[in-house]
């Protein structure tokens, strides 16, 4: 039986995307050269000062940062491509004037703007080219692969299948493959269903593929690439001990959290007091609400929020999830929950080090104990500090059932495996967009 397929060089889908980004970024230096030549011409005509071309040269720094972030974020699911591109290009160029101010270096705002626009256009063209030429195209060794992928993705995430092409293995096994018209993207490899019972003929096929250096993917890996979720194992979770923290980035992130909270103190503290006054006038009860939550390494801490529900009688009811149109939510509470204003006091928790600006949301101790007993991988979300917002919040929204909590955990574990400055910036961008729409509020 012929077991060859037209595959590209051995390497993961992420590695190939990183290679494409690197090549495109190196080619993109022509945009800076174009900006520099434009600056020289404007200076010659007297329409710009000498600072214009000099500033363009300095813009090599934000361009390099953009290229690095796009390279390091190549693992992100395809549906986040444009959002991440917007963040990775905008943030470095927005911070550039601050760098000039700190260095007390004169610069041209027009040059920064021109460099940003040309760089963004270049990387956007590269993103579209990459989606066309480097789509995830896989052959299925097992007939159950497509249904298993859909099962793992679930109904809402099933749209992720549009970013992948799956073809039955029989198309390759029957005869030597012939490229179809329009086939300009190489095949990324072969997908296996790990639940398929072992078979001698199947094992020979797998061995032959390995000898050909064909990349092999599990169904779970493909689902993760498409959904941005870490697929939970059915029984054993021992391999999840491989998930670990990032001490270097944890330290940097802690400094950034503290600096941002202190720098924005004149903005959020008066707003917090103003909303708190509205809470007092809207309904009887205290302005603030506190609750014990579980933080990093399983340590409990007291979380603070502006009260958005009717003041409860102590001991009147046990902890429970908020529901859609929850009768406990006050009139003003519905608005501040939608705009996330009730979370403002948690900036104090961030300053204390109990929380981070970005990370898995902290849960009540009763919920943690219950979920850990039924979802074995649940405690691993405590490897990092909990956050005001997180990957699960911007992808899923509020989780109010055990099934939704399992999906939420898969997003949290994905964050644990990949968390970095570039991913945190993407989460921050999506959080701002979500606050404006009220997605996930209850």
pLDDT tens, position by position, 228-248: 998 876 655 455 556 777 889
User: Taking all residues of the chain, what is their mean pLDDT, rounded to a whole number?
Assistant: 84
Mean pLDDT on 194-213: 85
Q: How confident is residue 198, by pLDDT bands cut at 50, 70 and 90? A: confident
C-alpha–C-alpha distance, residues 58 and 100, integer Å: 9
Model confidence pLDDT, tens digit, residues 281-298: 988 889 999 999 999 999
pLDDT for res 58 = 94
Number of other CB atoms surrounding residue 373 within 10 Å: 9
pLDDT for res 322 = 58
Lowest pLDDT segment from 49-58, 88-97, 214-223, 314-323: 314-323
Lowest pLDDT segment from 52-56, 136-140, 142-146, 428-432: 136-140
Beta-sheet strands, E only, within 161-209: 164-168, 189-192
pLDDT for res 12 = 75
Pick the closest to residue 39 from 60, 28, 54 (CA basis): 54
Pick the closest to residue 190 from 161, 174, 173, 169 (CA basis): 169
Residue linked to tokens 């018209």: 181
Long-range contact list for 238-245, CB < 8 A, 24+ apart?
A: 240/377, 240/380, 240/413, 243/380, 243/383, 243/413, 243/416, 243/417, 244/383, 245/383, 245/384, 245/416
Pick the closest to residue 127 from 88, 182, 166, 181 (CA basis): 88
DSSP-assigned letter for residue 381: G
Record the tokens describing residue 55, joined without a space: 């500033």
Number of other CB atoms surrounding residue 406 within 10 Å: 16
Pick the closest to residue 149 from 234, 221, 209 (CA basis): 221
Lowest pLDDT segment from 63-67, 129-133, 169-173: 169-173
Record the tokens describing residue 90, joined without a space: 């905008």
Query: What share of the chain in percent tops pLDDT 70?
Result: 84
- Phi and psi at residue 287, in whole multiples of 5°? -75, -40
Q: Are strands 136-140 and 288-294 parallel, antiparallel or unpaired?
A: unpaired
Model confidence pLDDT, tens digit, residues 384-427: 999 999 999 999 877 767 778 888 889 999 999 899 999 999 99
Q: Alpha helix locations (H) across 134-199?
A: 145-157, 170-173
Sign, CA dihedral 94-96-100-103, equals positive
pLDDT for res 11 = 65
Cβ density class 171-204: b for 16+ within 10 Å, e for less: ebbeeebeeeeeeeebbbbbbbbeeeeeeeeeee
C-alpha–C-alpha distance, residues 435 and 442, integer Å: 13
Mean pLDDT on 187-206: 86
Q: 3-state DSSP call for residue 364?
A: strand
Which residues, listed in sequence order, are joined to residue 304 by a DSSP beta bridge?
290
C-alpha–C-alpha distance, residues 301 and 355, integer Å: 9
The CA-CA-CA angle for residues 215, 221, 226, to 5°, reads: 110
């Amino acid at each position: 039986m012929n077991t060859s397929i037209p595959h590209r060089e051995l390497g993961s889908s992420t590695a190939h995307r990183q290679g494409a980004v690197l090549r495109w970024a190196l080619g993109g230096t022509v945009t800076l050269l174009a900006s520099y030549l434009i600056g020289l011409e404007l200076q010659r005509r007297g329409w710009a000062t000498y600072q214009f071309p000099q500033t363009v040269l300095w813009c090599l720094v934000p361009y390099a940062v953009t290229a690095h972030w796009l390279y390091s974020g190549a693992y992100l699911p395809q549906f986040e491509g444009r959002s991440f591109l917007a963040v990775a290009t905008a943030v470095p160029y927005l911070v550039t004037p601050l760098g000039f101010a700190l260095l007390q270096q004169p610069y041209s705002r027009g040059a920064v703007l021109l460099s940003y626009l040309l760089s963004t256009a270049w990387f956007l063209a590269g993103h579209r080219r990459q989606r066309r030429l480097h789509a995830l195209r896989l052959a299925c060794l097992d007939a159950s692969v497509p249904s298993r992928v859909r099962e793992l993705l679930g109904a809402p995430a099933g749209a992720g299948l549009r970013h992948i092409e799956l073809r039955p293995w029989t198309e390759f096994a029957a005869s030597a493959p012939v490229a179809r018209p329009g086939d300009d993207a190489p095949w990324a490899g072969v997908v296996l269903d790990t639940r398929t019972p072992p078979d001698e003929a199947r094992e020979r096929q797998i061995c032959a593929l390995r000898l050909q250096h064909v990349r092999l993917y599990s169904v779970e890996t493909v689902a993760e690439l498409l959904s941005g979720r870490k697929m939970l194992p059915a029984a054993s979770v021992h391999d999840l001990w491989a998930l670990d923290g990032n001490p270097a980035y944890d330290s940097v992130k802690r400094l950034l959290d503290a600096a941002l909270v202190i720098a924005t103190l004149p903005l959020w503290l008066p707003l917090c007091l103003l909303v708190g006054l509205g809470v007092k006038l809207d309904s009887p009860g205290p302005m603030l609400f506190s609750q014990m939550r579980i933080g990093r390494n399983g340590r409990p801490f007291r979380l603070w929020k502006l009260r958005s529900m009717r003041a409860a009688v102590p001991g009147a009811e046990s902890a429970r999830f908020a529901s859609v149109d929850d009768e406990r939510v006050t009139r003003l509470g519905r608005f501040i929950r939608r705009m996330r204003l009730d979370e403002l006091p948690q900036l104090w928790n961030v300053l204390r080090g109990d929380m981070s600006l970005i990370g898995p949301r902290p849960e009540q101790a009763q919920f943690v104990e219950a979920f850990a007993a039924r979802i074995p991988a649940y405690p691993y979300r405590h490897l990092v500090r909990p956050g005001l917002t997180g990957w699960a919040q911007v992808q899923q929204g509020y989780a109010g059932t055990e099934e939704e909590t399992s999906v939420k955990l898969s997003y949290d574990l994905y964050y644990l495996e990949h968390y970095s400055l570039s991913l945190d910036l993407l989460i921050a961008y999506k959080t701002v967009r979500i606050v404006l729409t009220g997605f996930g509020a209850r």
